[in-house]
Amino acid sequence: MKKILLSILAAVVVIVLVIVFIWRQQSGYTKVLTAKIARQDLTTVVSGTGQIKPKTYVNLGATAMGRITHLYVKEGDLVKKGQTVATIENVQQEANVANQQAAITAAKTDIAADVAAEKTADANVEKAKADLEQKKLDWEREQALYKAGIEPKSNYDAKKALYDTDVASVNQAKAQLNQAKAQTDSLRGHLQMQVASLRANQNALDLTMAVAPFDGIVTNEPVREGETVVEGIQNTEGSTFMTLADLSVITAEIKVDETDIVNVRLGQSADVTVDALPGKVFKGHVTLVGDQALLRSSGQATSTSTSGTEEAKDFKVVVTIDDPSNELRPGLSTTAKITTAQKPSILALPIQALTMHSSDDDKTSKDSVHASASPVAKSVPVQGVFVVDGKSKLRVRFVPVTTGITGATDIEALSGLKEGDEIVIGPYKTLRGLKDNALVKRDTAKPAAPGGNS
């Protein structure tokens, strides 16, 4: 029995000695998670949510007041440019057009009659000129005979009277010709007035018909035949027949947070996903970046908002889908991930490894026991990481790091590190309180954080 107790006591002493030895070996060490710097492809992505919208769409509204007599298409129908899609009652407008067309026809007939009269007057002028030429020759011959004493004075006076009469006849014929021309010009002027009135009446008739401005699809039709519609007046919105959309060019209109908008540029590629089409990704590119901030709560532009409260803001970004599918419909909820930067094979480190460190942090314990009366200015904190050095005893040293583009979990290291360097990536609380030149020990009980090789 005594030997058994001595054996148990010896075993306890050995266990205690082992525990003490291990405790002494580990005293002063800080357990940390580490990872090694490696090269990888890094991509910066900006996300935004919104909805699918056609690039070109229009609400066909009423341009005249009246009852809808015909709706020639329904929601989902394809229409062609220039196709009449709806009409409202237009009896009065059609009557005005018909009346004006008849007036124009009558005016053209009057002009034709006047042109004929003008030609007759012109012929009379030519006839009068011929008669005058003949009378002029007779008068000249009579003058010669009278001067020679061959003809009596009576014949001389008769020839002169005939000549004077034909001169007056020519002038009269010319006056009639001018009158006929003036009458024709007047009728032509009246015809132009009738044509202008016809255009006004035809426009009034056209306003009773809704015509498709481009090839597209009917995406909304809020009215029915027999309903009365009115046109918009000043700031009052009028009735809408339907919405037409050109689905040949589809866009995703999204909102991007104000902190990310500075990185978004025209032409950047984007992956667009639609909630209603899980598993499908549509490729696109940025075609519009809004300059106006929008309040997140109301969507109102900040320039028109009267509220003085500060709140989160977004910016509108439009992504045009390169190869749209027939499954896409306006209004579908969508998410777009825009690639704002991309670099291949660069040094990257986990974002959680970055910390702000000041040289004062390492002197705090020393300065606390040698405090002076005069205050000492603190140095500015520097961004960097803790690099692990040593073999049997591991120590960390703080290395300032300049960073570049940021990925989902990693960030580019521009300076301060090289490939293969082992850095501390956590835990977070340990990393915040870690000092330069501190003894550390790799924590093998926990897996390495994503983004690095532990």
Range picked from 53-62, 162-171, 354-363 for highest mean pLDDT: 53-62
Position 450 pLDDT exceeds 50: no
State the pLDDT at residue 141.
77
State the pLDDT at residue 371.
46
Report residue 170's pLDDT band, with 50, 70 and 90 as the boundaries. Answer: confident
**Domain spanning 47-56+250-342, CATH architecture:** Beta Barrel (2.40)
Q: Any idea how long the chain is? A: 454
SS3 of 3, please? helix
pTM above 0.75, yes or no: no
Position 452 pLDDT exceeds 50: no
User: How far is Cα 234 from Cα 218, in angstroms, rounded to an integer?
Assistant: 27
Mean pLDDT of all residues in the chain? 84
Q: Strands 30-36, 439-442: parallel, antiparallel or unpaired by DSSP?
A: parallel
- Evaluate the omega torsion of the peptide bond into residue 375 and state whether it is cis, within 30 degrees of 0: no
Stretch 410-430: mean pLDDT, rounded? 90
Residue range 53-112, pLDDT digits in tens: 998 889 999 999 999 999 999 998 999 999 999 999 999 999 999 999 999 999 899 899
SS3 of 385, please? strand
Residue range 185-205, pLDDT digits in tens: 898 898 999 999 999 999 999
CA R_g for the chain: 49
User: How far is Cα 384 from Cα 400, in angstroms, rounded to an integer?
Assistant: 4
Q: Which residue ranges make up each domain of the chain? A: 47-56+250-342, 91-206
The set of residues, in sequence order, having a beta carbon less than 8 Å from that of 75 and lying 6+ positions away, is: 218, 219, 220, 221, 242
